[in-house]
A and B are shown apart, each in its own frame.
Chain A
Amino acid sequence: MTTTVGQTTQVYQVFIKASAEQIWDAITRPEWTARYFHGARITVTPEHYDSRSADGDVWGDSAVEVFDPPRKLVHGWRSLYDPELAAEDESRVTWEIDEEENGVCLLTVTHDRLEGAPKTAAGVSGTGWTGVISALKTLLETGAPLYR
């Protein structure tokens, strides 16, 4: 058994005081993602998930499985900025937005199918997804990026 803590199914959940539409825009439009997702400019269309650095390097380029605004987005995940990660199997990320009362939404991010991507699994766990999701919440609730 490996001691790596990267699980093959990872679930992240957070309440965000924002509308489902705002959250949807924040995860599918580059002008938003650049402010909380390690500077990545991510564009999601019904067919395609495209992530690029500020300089235009391709960081992610995967198919979109489910595109149901503003409720559910499912896309492939392969990190292309690192040759070792890029060589691993593609995994899958599911975003679910559930509208609760009082203008609050529950956002659930599930990263699974990580069996063939142990380095990716270890990389996105720990401070990986939690950092991105925490920064997304702060950005939507305060209008300011978490890290300056």
Chain B
Amino acid sequence: MVTYDHRVTDDDLVFKALADPTRRHLLDRLFERDGRTLTELESELEMTRFGVMKHLRVLEDAGLVVTRRQGREKLHFLNPVPIRLIHDRWIDKYAERRVSALSELKTRLEGRR
């Protein structure tokens, strides 16, 4: 059996947090309007308050949601930086390779190599 004794990387937490439709829906709601309370978010979901809290906690642990106290209220903000880091680390890398492979193919086909 393989055991993973290394610390779970931030990327893992972000991918896990994103691998759930309810959590993606919560991020979309915050993307539309940021700085919302739990009550506001709960009103848009067919889910118990406890369920929403649980999902928000996963998003917070992954750094995708940041909370701020404002008076008596706790406001939830979308933090898009972890998604950007995944984009820079993963998406850019593979997209770039494909583009360079295509441009190489073009060069060869056009006989300019």
Contact = CB atoms under 8 A, between A and B. Distances in A.
A138 B89 CA distance: 10
Interface string B79-95: 11111110010000000
Contact of A146 (B32, B34, B83, B88): B88
Interface of B: 10, 31-35, 63, 66, 68, 77-85, 88
B68 to A, nearest CB: 7
A131 interface: yes
A11 B79 contact: yes
Residue among B10, B66, B84, B85 with max Cβ neighbours from chain A (10 Å): B84
B81 to A, nearest CB: 5
Contacts, number: 46
Contacts of A11: 34, 66, 68, 77-79
Contacts of A10: 34, 77
Q: Is the interface of A mostly helix, strand, loop or mixed?
A: mixed
Q: How large is the interface on A (under 10, 10 to 19, 20 to 34, 35 or more residues)?
A: 10 to 19
B79 A131 contact: no
Contact of B35 (A9, A13, A133): A9
B79 A13 contact: yes
Contact of A13 (B31, B33, B66): B66
